[in-house]
Structure 1
Amino acid sequence: MKLAVLGSGSKGNALFVETDNINLLIDAGFSGKKIEEQLKKIKIDICNIDGILITHEHGDHIQGAGILSRKYDIPIYITKESYEAGMLKIGKIKDENLRFIEEAFWVGDSMVYPFDVMHDAERTIGFRIEESSGSKVAIATDLGYIDNTVREAFREVDVMVIECNYDYHKLMDCSYPWDLKARVKSRNGHLSNNDCARFIRELHHDKLKKVYLAHMSKDSNDPKLAIDAVLDELLRHNIDISVEIAHQDICSELIKF
């Protein structure tokens, strides 16, 4: 299995996952042109994408989905609730390329397990992807609270992509209006640095190879604050793993695990 974060933040989110015989986009929250450019940086041709998996209907996750589906005949996998809430942004999709997510499903050689998370969209899900050789990745870029469903989805994975959105003190001091601050830190909002750090420590196991810190706020967080919060928590428990920030405008390297 291979993975690269094409970009992650409030201006857009997209990830690339490659298994033995399929290529997937997880979200398409940039313009179609931008996603094509980011894929080229990791030497992936957009024509070889086998499916676009959508976590929820917010624009920073679906902006380019409809465009890419129409232009390259790519199936979109999305919950019915998210599609109905975001159908105007997605636009017209061929019937055979609109695939509603109801339960776990196969895409090529890989099983995709969707799981519900708490976030302020009509419905938000994360994905656990397992290829036939046994490699596993779990992805949740927007969630306000870690419940047992999320814990189970991230258990024993090789790679985590998990939200690390805000620093509490920076959120309280930033220029957001109070109602937005309250929404961000609510159970249906976003995950703080400290909550993310504790979650990684709790779910760490010997075969965990890498963690990406995703969907970092530019106004209520800072890369150093985020990475320090996570590494400090891990070091206190003698855990040494690779942790990388998923940047808004920088495509990560394509890693194999």
Structure 2
Amino acid sequence: MKLAVLGSGSKGNSIFLETDNIKLLIDAGFSGKKIEEQLKNIGENICNIDGILITHEHGDHILGAGIISRKYDVPIYITKESYEAGILKLGKLNSQNLRFIEENFEVGASLIYPFDVMHDAERTVGFRIEESTGSKVAIATDLGYIDNTVREAFKNVDVIVLECNYDYNKLMECSYPWDLKARVKSRSGHLSNIDCARFLCEIYHKDLKKIYLAHMSKESNDPKLALDEVMEELSKNNIEIPVEIATQDRGTKLIDF
């Protein structure tokens, strides 16, 4: 299993994942050109993408999906609710390339387990993806609350990509209007640094290989602050694990797990 976060934040999100020789994008929230460039940076060709998994219909997750699907004949896996809410952003798709997510499904030999999360879109899902060899990754980049569904999805995975969106004090002090601040910190908004950190401690296990902190706000967070808060909580629980921040403007390296 190989993974690289091509970029993550309020201006665009996309993750590259290779599993069982199938190459996937989880979200495509940048322009097609930008995603093509980010893939080249990790030695991958956009022509080889086998599918795009969509978490929800917000523009920072689907901006380039329709373009890539049409240009490179790539299937899009999306819930019916998100498709209907985001149809104008996606544009016209080849019916053969529109795959509605209803339950667990397979792409190649890999199993994809979508799970619902609390976020203020028509419907938002995260993904647990299991390779036939046993490697597992769980991804949730937009969620306001950790419920039992999320806990179950993140159990015993090898790699975690989890939202670490805001610091509470910085959120309260930033220039956002009050209604936006209330939305961000609500159960259908985004995950704070401390809630992210506590959940990571809760679901840590000895075979966990790496954690990526995703969808970090530029207005109500700071990379050093977020990393310090997460690492402090992990340290309190005697947990040592590689943690990397997935930034908005620069992708991570492609790592083979």
TM-score by length of 1: 1.00
The superposition leaves residues 155-187 of structure 1 with CA deviations (integer Å, 9 ceiling, x where unpaired) of: 000000000000000000000000000000000
- The alpha carbon displacement at 1:21 in A equals 1.7
Q: Displacement of 1:20 after TM fit? A: 2.2
Match of 1:246 in 2: 246
Runs (5+) with no aligned partner, structure 1: none
CA distance in 1, matches of 2:172, 2:239: 30
Amino acid at match of 2:87: M
Residues 1:141 and 2:117 are matched in the alignment:
no
Partner residue in 2 for 1:189 = 189
Counting only pairs closer than 5 Å after superposition, residues 135-174 of structure 1 correspond to structure 2 as 135-174=135-174
Distance 1:19 1:237 in 2: 32
Letter in 2 for 1:61: H
How many Å separate the matches in 1 of 2:2 and 2:109? 14
Name the counterpart of 2:93. Answer: 93
Q: Report the counterpart of residue 178 of structure 2 in structure 1.
A: 178
Taking the TM superposition and a 5 Å limit, the aligned residue runs for 1:1-257 are: 1-257=1-257
- Cα distance in 2 for partners of 1:148, 1:243 equals 24
3-state SS in 2 of match to 1:77 = strand
Match of 1:228, as an amino acid?
D
4+ aligned runs moved over 6 Å, structure 1: none
CA deviations on 1:162-220 (whole Å, 9 max, x unpaired) are 00000000000000000000000000000000000000000000000000000000000
Q: TM-score, normalised by structure 2?
A: 1.00
* Cα deviation code 1:109-167 (max 9, x no counterpart): 10000000000000000000001000000000000000000000000000000000000
How far apart in 1 are the matches of 2:40 and 2:251?
Answer: 10
Q: For each residue in 1:76-132, what CA deviation from the matched residue of structure 2 results, as whole angstroms up to 9, or x when unmatched?
A: 000000000000000000001000000000000100000000000000000000010
Unaligned runs of 5+ in 2: none
Aligned residue for 2:195, secondary structure, equals helix
Structure 1 distance, partners of 2:46, 2:109, is 20
Letter in 1 for 2:129: I
CA distance in 2, matches of 1:136, 1:179: 38
Counterpart code for 1:232: E
Distance, in Å, in 2 between the alignment partners of 1:102 and 1:20 is: 22
- Same amino acid, percent of matched pairs: 79
Output the amino acid matched with 2:90.
Answer: I
Secondary structure at 1:9 match in 2: coil
The code of the aligned residue for 1:66 comes to G
Q: Distance in 2 between matches of 1:201 and 1:237?
A: 7
What is the alpha-carbon distance in structure 2 between the residues aligned to residue 21 and residue 159 of structure 1?
18
Between the aligned partners of 1:85 and 1:20, the Cα distance in structure 2 is: 32
Q: Aligned-pair distance for 1:37?
A: 0.1
Count of residues paired in the alignment: 257
Report how far residue 19 of structure 1 moved.
1.1
2:13 counterpart SS class: strand
CA RMSD of aligned residues (A): 0.3
2:131 partner amino acid: E
